[in-house]
A and B are shown apart, each in its own frame.
Chain A
Amino acid sequence: MTAMSNEDRVARIREARRLIVAAMQGCDSPQIETMLRSADMELHWALWNLGEAVSLRPELDYG
């Protein structure tokens, strides 16, 4: 397996965040929303630690 570039990794993480935020829309289960928020928090933190200029907290991106 060839190593992925950081640019590709960042793009995939951004896409994963987009999908997670979409899955949160209208969620009526606090359990599932907790899990999605937790996953998005980790992805936000991954972007931060890949040196990306992201917001201070993931919730600030939810609009």
Chain B
Amino acid sequence: MPSAQLSVYGQGARDSLFWNKATETMPRARLDALHLHRLRALVQYAWDYSPFYRSKFDQAGLKPGDIRTLADYKTRMPLIDKSEFIALQAEQPPYGPTLALPLEFVAHHSETSGTTGVPLGIPFSTYDTVRYGESWVYGMWALGIRPGDSFYFAFGWGNFAGFWSAYWAARRLGCRVISGGGLDTRGHIQTIQRLRPTVLISTPTFALRMAAVAAEMGVDLAQSSIRYTYHAGEPGPTALPAMREQLERAWGAKAGELLGIAEIDAMAPGCPNGDGVHVNEMNVFAWSIDPKTGQEVADGEIGENIVTSYVNSAQPLLNYRTHDLVRRRAACSCGRTWTKFEGAVLGRTDFMVTVRGTNVYQTAVENLLAQVPGISMHYELVLTREGDNDVMTVRFEPDKAIAAERELWNKAAAEAAERIHRALHVRLEIKPVAPESLPRYELKTKRIIDQRPKEFRRALDR
């Protein structure tokens, strides 16, 4: 007879429907009081330790003591954009003045995916990685994932923060980790059959891609060991109900999702109701603005998500513009008081589409096209849906200099395709069309021609 029962959790914790009920259901007034305390501490920390923020505060004539209310913070703390960080890191690699801890504290270098052009370097302290991983766990626990489950990571790891943070989450939750790093799609499927994991972590489109390849192999993944699929990185089962239906049918599993932003946090775990995500208000403070006016928008209205992270002590992010358009809701029938983003991210202030698992931003493609000799300013980006993937085709008119020489049209197309592939790691079809054949517009040019079925577009892109 063993002298002690071995168990990861006691019965009370094991029976909880919440990862931390006390904070997930904390009354709004108490949450706001905590936010104020934590924001003031963070502003002081940024002032003390971050050359970047000290300079920002000086430019704005702001001292830490000036922040006395949440309204002070929203109106006086300058908005920060990723482009500022990228420029500073390029000047003084790897982190420049954005680093707020001695380098000996930096335990993990990570990066954004680079799909908006250049990847942002993200330094994490050990504590930051623990807290980032924790953010995933709320949604996983709510979905039903427990110690004893085993995670299959269907990706090469690289430096992308999203992938690594999922690993930190599995460790935090106490689940078994099975890495699929280095395998191709067939290898992933064979490993799942061999090792029988119960949770799949991948982008949603790759999960569908795996199901399609499995079908070619004569394998029905709906009969596999996988009981949960959990996703991030692109619009998934919460943002796109059609995606949920496809994922759950293909895998015979419950599909979950969170909203994460690589340089910030896995900031909003999925709601168990499946219709949105809840902002993890222990890790971040989030509010929304009208991106045109900069004014705060009320709950229920669509606005750009502005985030402050309490848990990125190596590279603090205060009033950070995400360019994600969200609709905030104050209450939810699931019991959480944490702000809900209905439908997760509804759109982008700069349009984004996911092509073969890669987030492709309209602005990034347009910036690259503008650099290619022979491509005029008359072009459009056509979105279609083929199988389980979004497809973007660029149709452009050649500029006048090469209009009479057809062979140069294809040369320009090939160069554009190569530049886009090099910069964004995705291959787009680039098609020249006859001069003067694309529509002309009196006001704003319509660049995006979205021919995807409505159910595969985010709400604001429909």
Give the interface of A toward B (CB within 8 A): 3, 6, 41-42, 45, 48-51, 53, 55-58, 60
Contacts and interface: CB of A to CB of B under 8 A. Distances in A.
Contacts of A6: 22
Q: How large is the interface on B (under 10, 10 to 19, 20 to 34, 35 or more residues)?
A: 20 to 34
Contacts of B295: none
Interface centre among A45, A51, A60 (most CB of B within 10 A): A51
A6 B21 CA distance: 12
Contact of A57 (B26, B282, B313): B313
6 contacts: A45-B130, A45-B131, A49-B20, A49-B282, A50-B23, A55-B41
Given A51-B30, A56-B41, A57-B313, A3 B12 contact: yes
A16 to B, nearest CB: 17
Interface in B45-60: 45
B127 interface: yes
Contacts of B131: 45
B264 interface: no
B310 A56 contact: yes
Nearest to B125: A57
A37 to B, nearest CB: 9
Contacts of A48: 282
A49 B130 contact: no
Contact of B130 (A41, A50, A51): A41
Contacts, number: 37
A23 B190 CA distance: 50
Contacts of A58: 127
B12 A53 contact: no
Contact of A41 (B12, B23, B30, B127): B127
Interface in B395-433: none
Interface in B17-68: 20, 22-23, 26, 30, 34, 37-38, 41-42, 45
Contacts of A60: 45
A49 to B, nearest CB: 6
Given A41-B127, A41-B130, A56-B310, A49 B42 contact: no
Nearest to A42: B130
A51 B34 contact: yes
Contacts of B23: 49-51
B126 interface: yes
Contacts of B130: 41-42, 45
Contacts of A41: 126-127, 130
A56 B45 contact: yes
A53 B20 contact: no
B127 A57 contact: yes
B26 A51 contact: yes
Contacts of A45: 127, 130-131, 134
A57 B314 CA distance: 11
Interface in B257-293: 282
A55 B49 CA distance: 14
Given A41-B126, A45-B130, A51 B41 contact: no
Given A3-B12, A41-B127, 5 more contacts: A41-B130, A49-B20, A51-B22, A55-B41, A60-B45
B282 A56 contact: no
A41 B41 CA distance: 18
A51 B33 CA distance: 10
B11 to A, nearest CB: 11
A50 B313 contact: no
Contacts of B26: 51
A7 B131 CA distance: 23
Nearest to B37: A53
Nearest to A53: B37
A35 to B, nearest CB: 13
Nearest to B26: A51
Nearest to A52: B34
Contacts of A55: 41
A41 B311 CA distance: 13
A56 B38 CA distance: 8
Contacts of A50: 22-23
B42 A56 contact: yes
A55 B127 CA distance: 13
A18 to B, nearest CB: 19
Contacts of B310: 56
